[in-house]
């Protein structure tokens, strides 16, 4: 019997093609694992800061050891080894952040009355309205020295000479770090905790300098910076002199609010934050100038390559500039990146690379992990990542074209626009997350302002520093001031354009995390796998767009109560108007009509209903004598002491916000979602005790 042809079954072609594609993708991404280690470490750090309870140190150490063990076991297999390495980096970041928080002194008990403060001046800040001093290890009313510093604003008319290192005494009123204006709002307490501050306040008396001591090198450096800033402000008007002082010393406190807002609206705020752009301009100028001058010396050219001499001079100039601007974290991070660039130039390797960026990020995370949640770290690293990856992809196209002067000019302008688009576009999500605003014309403003800063302003500033010992700095400062004036004109022009500053609602942390992961995938991967980043970015944008502002919002002192009524948000002001909290609330209801009014003018007899009686405002307990009707939410700036209590009804009064901080309510059908500052922040080393000690029973 004929059995017919024999049929041979092979593995499914689709499965084979899928496996082959997967191996091809892995092959294309070979060597890219190291670039994702900073992403994993940063994720571990952010997870630590996002917790509401302090984890056990023993548990953290155990997890790090377990991660290292998994990495050692998975060493022989490529994919498991990569996963284990990322997990190990995340646990190391988590543990380093916890170690950093534990190494700092605890919060200080801030008295709620005037005190006499004595201590050593650590720094003097020049403000548009006076001076502010930071006092290290202060004593309050003759008590024991405090581990944390305090910052005091002096009387505007107090002209007492004071410098870093002086020992002083002053009568002042101090305040503990303020709680966020709304649940999830900007956390000033965490910033001050990691900055070593225990309290801020203002002087009630003139400053009394009890001793003038010779400071150490840090104090001497701070004093030099203060002298330079004072001489710049003496030669230039405050509008341009404050910007010049910021660029040369890092002291940005003297910039008037109007000029600062012009820079912010135009998307030029990065020019005031001395960091990578500034030190890059300084070092590039010194490198180019030194290489040009060395070309005139046959003796040097025959013995040492010009690029080595230029790199050494640029490095020394970068260190000096970093010292003059305060050795703060952004400038140190930028200096580290610049050193890697110089090392690449000397070694004949590519100056800017993703591997160098990864090394700098890892180093900074290990040194100062508390910088990771801040806008400076996130915006600067995202911008540099976009620049390196973007120019790797399409940068060569800017060298294509004719050699005529107008062709070169066109390529230069296009490169500037492309640079601004990459850097601004990559950092925009983080700016929107931290500051709730978008500057749509930032490319236009940067096209004019950045060349002015790079070619005129900072080189003249460097010349002014050289001429300052000879008291000839005015020769360079005056034209520097003219150039800064041109930048201010650009900023004001952009500020006058329609929709120059668009306020947006606060973005959830998960949304910006998805966008950040998408940007990392687009910038760090080189195969088609990188387009997965677009999916992550789209998911983050959708999550941000779906964010819903609260229906009822109560400030940390209950003196501001906001209620959405249809398409209008009504804000009731009780007692003293808190303008700062109002400014923090403004983006919460971005795009909606907001009407604010005094409680006496809005509510008759101390009570008024909103949203068809669903929300009831009571001025005090006496206003509840006629009952509370069918209100689902009752709010009051005074203690209600049990009035209006009813099952299913939410009552928010002065005692409630004392216990839980700012409170936000959202109506979800028959349910009311309650979010409080206490729930969001939890119990962490930088969070004051719940409830506050003056209300503890």
Examine residue 70 and state whether it is found in any structural domain, yes or no: yes
| pLDDT tens per residue across span 662-687 | 999 999 888 899 999 999 999 999 99
Examine residue 186 and state whether it is found in any structural domain, yes or no: yes
- Asked if residue 128 and residue 58 are part of one domain, the reply reads no
- Asked if residue 179 and residue 76 are part of one domain, the reply reads no
- Asked if residue 589 and residue 529 are part of one domain, the reply reads no
Mean pLDDT estimate for the chain: 86
Mean pLDDT of 232-249: 92
**Domain boundary pick from 215, 235, 261:** 215
**Does the pLDDT of residue 73 top 60, yes or no?**
yes
**Does the pLDDT of residue 52 top 50, yes or no?**
yes
**Does the pLDDT of residue 105 top 70, yes or no?**
yes
**Does the pLDDT of residue 23 top 70, yes or no?**
no
Binning pLDDT at 50, 70 and 90, where does residue 88 land?
A: very high
- Asked if residue 649 and residue 558 are part of one domain, the reply reads yes
User: What is the C-alpha separation between 459 and 286, in angstroms, rounded?
Assistant: 9
- Asked if residue 601 and residue 662 are part of one domain, the reply reads yes
**Domain boundary pick from 545, 569, 594:** 545
Binning pLDDT at 50, 70 and 90, where does residue 245 land?
A: very high
**Does the pLDDT of residue 372 top 90, yes or no?**
yes
pLDDT for 7? 47
User: What is the C-alpha separation between 167 and 596, in angstroms, rounded?
Assistant: 46
List the Cα angle 235/240/245 in 5-degree steps.
Answer: 70
Which ranges of 51-105 would DSSP assign to H, the alpha helix? 57-73, 78-103
The enclosing domain of 182 has a CATH number of 2.40.50
Mean pLDDT of 252-267: 85
Nearest CA-CA partner of 495 in 661, 267, 301: 267
Examine residue 131 and state whether it is found in any structural domain, yes or no: yes
Examine residue 313 and state whether it is found in any structural domain, yes or no: no
pLDDT for 18? 62
- Asked if residue 674 and residue 581 are part of one domain, the reply reads yes
Examine residue 224 and state whether it is found in any structural domain, yes or no: no
pLDDT for 695? 43
User: What is the C-alpha separation between 483 and 495, in angstroms, rounded?
Assistant: 18
Binning pLDDT at 50, 70 and 90, where does residue 21 land?
A: low
The residue segments making up the domain with residue 526 are: 509-545
**Could you tell me the two tokens for 226?**
């203060």
pLDDT for 17? 66
**In the chain, how many domains are there?**
4
**Does the pLDDT of residue 501 top 70, yes or no?**
yes
- Asked if residue 685 and residue 568 are part of one domain, the reply reads yes
**Does the pLDDT of residue 201 top 90, yes or no?**
yes
H or E element that contains 200: strand 197-203
pLDDT for 578? 79
Which ranges of 395-531 would DSSP assign to H, the alpha helix? 405-435, 442-452, 458-467, 474-495, 509-524
pLDDT for 90? 96
Whether residue 377 contacts residue 371, with contact meaning beta carbons closer than 8 Å, is answered with yes
| pLDDT tens per residue across span 574-588 | 888 778 888 889 889
pLDDT for 9? 46
Nearest CA-CA partner of 188 in 695, 633, 622, 581: 581
**Does the pLDDT of residue 696 top 50, yes or no?**
no
**Could you tell me the two tokens for 554?**
């109560």
Binning pLDDT at 50, 70 and 90, where does residue 689 land?
A: confident
Using CA atoms, how far residue 559 sits from 266, 353, 585, 588, in Å, is 34, 52, 13, 17
- Asked if residue 674 and residue 584 are part of one domain, the reply reads yes
* pTM for the full predicted model: 0.85
User: What is the C-alpha separation between 650 and 644, in angstroms, rounded?
Assistant: 9
Top-ranked range on mean pLDDT: pick from 102-106, 383-387, 601-605, 647-651: 102-106
**Domain boundary pick from 520, 545, 570:** 545
**Could you tell me the two tokens for 47?**
């997870």
- Classified as helix, coil or strand, 111 is coil
Examine residue 652 and state whether it is found in any structural domain, yes or no: yes
Whether residue 672 contacts residue 666, with contact meaning beta carbons closer than 8 Å, is answered with yes
User: What is the C-alpha separation between 513 and 44, in angstroms, rounded?
Assistant: 12
Examine residue 398 and state whether it is found in any structural domain, yes or no: no
Pairing state of beta strands 671-676 and 650-652?
unpaired
pLDDT for 134? 93
Cis peptide before 691 (omega within 30 of 0): yes
pLDDT for 405? 67
- Asked if residue 581 and residue 648 are part of one domain, the reply reads yes
User: What is the C-alpha separation between 611 and 602, in angstroms, rounded?
Assistant: 14
Mean pLDDT of 111-120: 92
| pLDDT tens per residue across span 466-490 | 999 999 999 999 999 999 999 999 9
- Asked if residue 208 and residue 183 are part of one domain, the reply reads yes
**Does the pLDDT of residue 22 top 70, yes or no?**
no
| pLDDT tens per residue across span 152-165 | 999 888 888 888 88
**Does the pLDDT of residue 658 top 70, yes or no?**
yes
- Asked if residue 150 and residue 62 are part of one domain, the reply reads no
H or E element that contains 339: helix 329-347
- Asked if residue 134 and residue 176 are part of one domain, the reply reads yes
Examine residue 132 and state whether it is found in any structural domain, yes or no: yes
User: What is the C-alpha separation between 428 and 673, in angstroms, rounded?
Assistant: 30
Length of the chain, please? 697
User: What is the C-alpha separation between 234 and 241, in angstroms, rounded?
Assistant: 8
* Position with higher pLDDT, 403 vs 256: 256
**Does the pLDDT of residue 242 top 60, yes or no?**
yes
% of the chain exceeding 90 in pLDDT: 40
List the Cα angle 143/144/149 in 5-degree steps.
Answer: 105
């Amino acid at each position: 019997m004929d059995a017919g042809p024999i049929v041979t079954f092979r593995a499914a072609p689709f499965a084979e093609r899928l496996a082959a594609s997967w191996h091809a993708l892995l092959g294309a991404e070979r060597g890219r694992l190291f670039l994702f280690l900073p992403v994993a470490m940063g994720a571990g750090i952010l997870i630590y800061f996002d917790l509401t309870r302090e984890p056990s140190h023993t548990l953290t150490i155990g997890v790090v050891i377990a991660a290292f063990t998994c990495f050692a076991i998975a060493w022989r297999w490529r994919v498991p080894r990569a996963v284990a390495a990322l997990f190990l980096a995340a646990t190391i970041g988590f543990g380093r952040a916890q170690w950093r928080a534990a190494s700092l002194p605890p919060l200080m008990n801030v008295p709620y009355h005037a005190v006499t403060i004595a201590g050593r001046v650590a720094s003097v800040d020049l403000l548009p309205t006076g001076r502010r001093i930071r006092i290290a290890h202060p004593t309050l009313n003759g008590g024991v020295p405090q581990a944390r510093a305090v910052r005091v604003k002096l009387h505007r008319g107090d002209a007492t000479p004071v410098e870093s290192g002086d020992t002083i005494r002053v009568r002042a009123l101090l305040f503990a770090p303020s709680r966020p204006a709304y649940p999830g709002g900007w956390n000033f307490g965490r910033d001050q905790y990691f900055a070593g501050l225990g309290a801020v306040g203002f002087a009630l008396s003139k400053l009394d300098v009890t001793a003038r001591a010779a400071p150490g090198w840090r104090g001497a450096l701070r004093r030099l910076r203060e002298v330079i800033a004072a001489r710049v402000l003496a030669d230039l008007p405050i509008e341009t002199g404050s910007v010049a002082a910021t660029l040369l010393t890092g002291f940005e406190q003297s910039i008037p609010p109007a000029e600062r807002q012009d820079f912010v609206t135009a998307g030029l705020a990065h020019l005031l934050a001395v960091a990578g752009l500034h030190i890059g301009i300084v070092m590039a100028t010194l490198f180019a100038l030194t290489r040009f001058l060395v070309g005139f010396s046959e003796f040097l050219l025959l013995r040492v390559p010009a690029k080595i001499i230029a790199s050494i001079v640029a490095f020394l100039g970068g260190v000096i500039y970093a010292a003059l601007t305060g050795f703060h974290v952004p400038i140190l991070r930028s200096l580290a990146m610049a050193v890697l660039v110089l090392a690449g130039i000397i070694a004949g390797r590519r100056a800017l690379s993703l591997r160098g960026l990864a090394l700098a990020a890892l180093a900074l995370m290990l040194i100062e992990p508390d910088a990771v949640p801040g806008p400076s770290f996130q915006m600067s690293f995202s911008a540099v990542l976009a620049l390196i990856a973007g120019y790797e992809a399409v940068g060569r196209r800017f060298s294509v074209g004719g050699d005529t002067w107008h062709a070169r000019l066109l390529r230069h302008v296009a490169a500037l626009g492309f640079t601004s688009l990459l850097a601004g576009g990559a950092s925009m999500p983080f700016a929107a997350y931290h500051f709730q605003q978008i500057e749509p014309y930032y490319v236009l403003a940067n096209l004019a302002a950045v060349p002015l800063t790079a070619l005129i302003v900072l080189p003249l500033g460097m010349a002014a520093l050289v001429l300052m010992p000879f008291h000839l700095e005015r020769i360079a400062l005056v034209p520097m001031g003219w150039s800064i004036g041109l930048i201010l004109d650009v900023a004001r022009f952009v500020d006058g354009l329609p929709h120059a500053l668009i306020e947006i609602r606060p973005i959830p942390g998960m949304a910006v995390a998805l966008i950040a992961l998408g940007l990392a995938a687009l910038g760090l991967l080189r195969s088609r796998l990188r387009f997965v980043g677009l999916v992550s970015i789209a998911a983050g944008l959708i999550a941000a767009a779906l964010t819903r502002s609260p229906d009822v919002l109560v400030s940390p002192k209950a003196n501001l109560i906001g209620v959405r009524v249809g398409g209008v948000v009504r804000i009731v002001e009780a007692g003293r108007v808190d303008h700062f909290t109002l400014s923090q609330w403004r983006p919460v209801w971005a795009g909606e009509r907001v009407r604010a009014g005094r409680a006496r003018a809005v509510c008759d007899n101390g009570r008024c209903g909103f949203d068809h009686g669903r929300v009831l405002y009571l001025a005090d307990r006496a206003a509840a004598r006629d009952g509370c009707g069918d209100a689902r939410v009752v709010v009051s700036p005074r203690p209600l002491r049990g009035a209006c209590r009813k099952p299913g009804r939410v009552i928010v009064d002065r005692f409630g916000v004392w216990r839980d901080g700012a409170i936000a309510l959202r109506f979800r059908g028959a349910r009311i979602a309650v979010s409080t500052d206490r729930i969001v922040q939890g119990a962490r080393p930088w969070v004051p005790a719940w409830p506050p000690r003056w209300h503890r029973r």
